[in-house]
Structure 1
Amino acid sequence: MLNQNSFSKEIMWEATVSCNPEYDGMFFYAIKTTGIFCRPSCRSKTPKYKNVSFFLNAANAQKDGYRPCKRCRPDLKRTTYDPLESIIVDTQKMIELNYWKDIHLNDIASGVGVSPFYLNRLFKNRTELTPRMYLENVRIEKAKELLTSTTLNSTEVGYQVGYKSISSFYNAFKRRTRFTPSQFQAKGVEKIQS
């Protein structure tokens, strides 16, 4: 439990009720009826005041028999925790590891455990790109690498980075670089020779 030099119970209760992230890492609250402890910013249902205990650190809450909330992850050593960040990171990794495959939004959403609609909206809000746009960026970056570091022609590169249609590859490449793949490859060769 807390010592006398810490925040008053009223301040901690107000931070808990308002889900105030400014207090994350300064204290934790535990709910006697559920056996769970949380960060002040946790968006779970507000507990009854009589069922709450406050702790200065996660270790003390765990020592008293409370388990960490799966929503706000107070057991992690970070001051703040954004559960949606892992969805973004996992989506990016999935795309980067599978860019050359015929990958669809439904596959990605299933892989990260959310609906396609939710993933599309969340990813766009956080990165300003849809997963499809991110996939295209990854493919074009890989194509640029291949065009400047291998002897593959632009058609071979297009297929190798996951495009099923060469016209789609050319259009996407030109949209991103302002060059056709062949022009880009020629410019890359010029730079190497000069």
Structure 2
Amino acid sequence: MATGSRPAEEQWNAIIRCDSDYDGQFFYAVQSTGIFCRPSCKSRPPKREHVRIFATCTEAIDGNFRPCKRCKPADVHSPDQEWIQRITDYIHRHCHEALTLDVLATVSHGSPYHLHRTFKRIQGRTPLEYIQDVRMDRARQLLADSGKTVADIGREVGLENSAYFITLFKKKTGLTPSSYRKLHDNSGT
């Protein structure tokens, strides 16, 4: 597809039908308004002779068109970002369970390799690092707000092995769980 080309018949039909199946495949710009949209935009159909087709938002912007305020084509999230968001939501809901890369790949219908690589690219850390951070945040909250034992808190955040929980907590926070609790109790917060 040439940048700024006239719409092919299939593209024109998608624009007229406001067909969301074509969202992300191309964007259309209207020369008379200076605006570009997704194919699914519910705005009034433009005249075909005023329409130009672009492969990406960047191309449309570079062609001096601005994003539509109705369909917000520049706010498109990639499928990978949405997939990783679903995985991070799952991690937050199930951090107390045994979570491995294989478990996450199974529940998210992906391969462990692709999940690991995509997760790290989008989140800036591996799934394991993310899980550990979520667990340690929850552990800090429980240490500050409950009288539960360190072993009970470890189990509640999904780390059955107390020694591993204490070691990981110290690695992430610089304090043992008991020291963290004492510091929090003495601070008066």
Give the TM bin, normalised by the shorter chain. Answer: 0.5 to 0.7
Which of 106, 112, 119 is the equivalent residue of 1:116? 112
Decide whether aligned partners of structure 1 residues 149 and 10 sit closer, same or farther in structure 2, where only a CA change above 3 A counts.
Answer: closer
Q: Which runs of 5+ in 2 are unaligned?
A: 27-36, 46-55, 57-69
Deviation at 1:111, TM superposition (A): 1.4
Matched, 1:147 2:160: no
Decide whether aligned partners of structure 1 residues 156 and 11 sit closer, same or farther in structure 2, where only a CA change above 3 A counts.
Answer: closer
Q: Which runs of 5+ in 1 are unaligned?
A: 1-8, 17-27, 44-54, 64-71
Aligned residues: 147
Alignment partners' CA distance in 2, 1:187 and 1:104: 32
Question: TM-score, normalised on structure 1?
Answer: 0.64
Q: Which residue of 2 aligns with 1:29?
A: 11
% same residue: 20
Question: TM-score, normalised on structure 2?
Answer: 0.66
Deviation at 1:81, TM superposition (A): 3.4
Kindly report which structure 2 residues correspond to 1:4-19, keeping only aligned pairs within 5 A, or say none.
11-13=3-5
Kindly report which structure 2 residues correspond to 1:37-76, keeping only aligned pairs within 5 A, or say none.
38-39=22-23, 42=25, 57-59=39-41
SS of the counterpart of 2:159?
A: coil
Q: Which residue of 2 aligns with 1:25?
A: none
Deviation at 1:98, TM superposition (A): 0.3
Q: Is the 8 A contact 2:169 2:177 kept in 1?
A: yes
Alignment partners' CA distance in 2, 1:130 and 1:10: 38
Alignment partners' CA distance in 2, 1:109 and 1:103: 10
Q: Which residue of 2 aligns with 1:88?
A: 84
